[in-house]
Structure 1
């Protein structure tokens, strides 16, 4: 389930047959890679982690955080077994909420994906990373804030960015390099504090912040109601003739808390 979903992103280096993925990791400003091999089953997961250099304990800690190994999926599955989402959870049982490998990259990806169809959003992100990021041991790393801050709008427009989208990505990078925004420190902040810090940056709205909280930081109770994919999944689930209203979605999600992020994930899975 995990590798199948990760294989949708061409920037991920994985082997479905061997059940392996090479993960890019940044620690203390240095770039490392680790290969993770799944050796267990859905109900009895186990993994082998191989890293050539770097602090092994820190690498394992980051890998565990990315793949959310400490999250009790069985408890979450039982919670949703009593809700309208029980069929979806049975169909995609054991799908964890995997974090993006780089929190700054996650924020950039959220901006790139705004108001684009998924196929072009994935292609544009790949083009951006392969132009300004770097590859190591088969894993692709997103460009650093310093690299993005030094780019011009014209350079990004050559990749087919819109002018606004290019400006937003550069503005976010400059908020980090010049404005004192510490992306790594955000993981220790409350959601309202994070919202208040990010909403001030041009191009970042509620949808972007919610997706960053979800896929950048792994917060468990996020439900981006403005997301078209979630709206389409709910339309399919409840056999509606049109997309659900905000009032309807507010009613649906009452029984899904405190695991709204997993409701979001499995709804996306249901239409992928």
Structure 2
């Protein structure tokens, strides 16, 4: 499971001791709520379904898929048995149908064992991105939210880049390489830094 509220606060306190700019940002915005997803292929399926659509639209399509598949959208056999017409009627594009079926086939065959991903973060990301429709960002989000890996750093995320720039007082949004470089000093708390960045982005006083 993802980082607990207690672990998140502890990691952010450690991060604030390393980087004073985070201490000031936490004082302004407060601590973020945990972001936790269930580990397993259903979370990855929801990620595929939700690509390039709003959260509300993704939830609507997911409910239709559940109804289409008899109430269990995580049933790999049900995905295999469902016709294209059924899935299209639930709101899936042809591309997302292909991605979803591919993921279910890999899980059903045992080729993808989400319960035993490599302990090394980069190796786990490399294994996940072999799945059609799962890019690096989706893999990082899965490992952070579903497995609670504490040092995942989605430097390619636009909101993370924006908030790193704001928190550190940069004149412009840092590029992905710069965002990755400045966070090297934040190991092993970069997962908490990312969750705080999303929190800070929405506290102006887009969340994933």
Both structures adopt the same fold (TM-score exceeding 0.5) = yes
**What is the match of residue 62 of structure 1?**
none
From 137, 142, 153, the counterpart of 1:223: 153
From 164, 184, 192, the counterpart of 1:254: 184
Distance 1:238 1:79, change over 3 A: closer
**What is the match of residue 168 of structure 1?**
99
TM-score, scaled relative to structure 1: 0.61
Say if 2:41 is the partner of 1:104.
yes
Is the Cα–Cα contact under 8 Å of residues 155 and 176 in structure 2 kept in the other structure? yes
**What is the match of residue 181 of structure 1?**
112
Say if 2:16 is the partner of 1:80.
yes
Q: Deviations over 1:96-148 (max 9, x none)?
A: 5432034323212332343x2xxx431233123312337xxxxx975333333
**CA RMSD of superposed structures (Å):** 3.0
State the secondary structure of the residue aligned to 1:133: helix
* Structure with the higher fraction of residues in strand conformation: 1
State the secondary structure of the residue aligned to 1:194: helix
C-alpha separation in 2, matches of 1:104 and 1:124: 20
State the secondary structure of the residue aligned to 1:217: coil
C-alpha separation in 1, matches of 2:173 and 2:81: 41
Structure of greater relative contact order (alpha carbons < 8 Å, 6+ residues apart): 2
Q: Per-residue deviation at 1:225?
A: 1.4
State the secondary structure of the residue aligned to 2:149: coil
Is the Cα–Cα contact under 8 Å of residues 48 and 134 in structure 2 kept in the other structure? yes
* Structure with the higher fraction of residues in helix conformation: 2
C-alpha separation in 2, matches of 1:203 and 1:220: 24
C-alpha separation in 2, matches of 1:156 and 1:95: 36
State the secondary structure of the residue aligned to 1:255: helix
Q: Deviations over 1:150-198 (max 9, x none)?
A: 3344444434433222311221111111353222233x74334423432
From 112, 129, 136, the counterpart of 1:206: 136
Say if 2:12 is the partner of 1:68.
no
Q: Which runs of 5+ in 2 are unaligned?
A: 203-208
Q: Which runs of 5+ in 1 are unaligned?
A: 1-64, 135-139
TM-score, scaled relative to structure 2: 0.77
Distance 1:181 1:78, change over 3 A: closer
Is the Cα–Cα contact under 8 Å of residues 148 and 170 in structure 1 kept in the other structure? yes
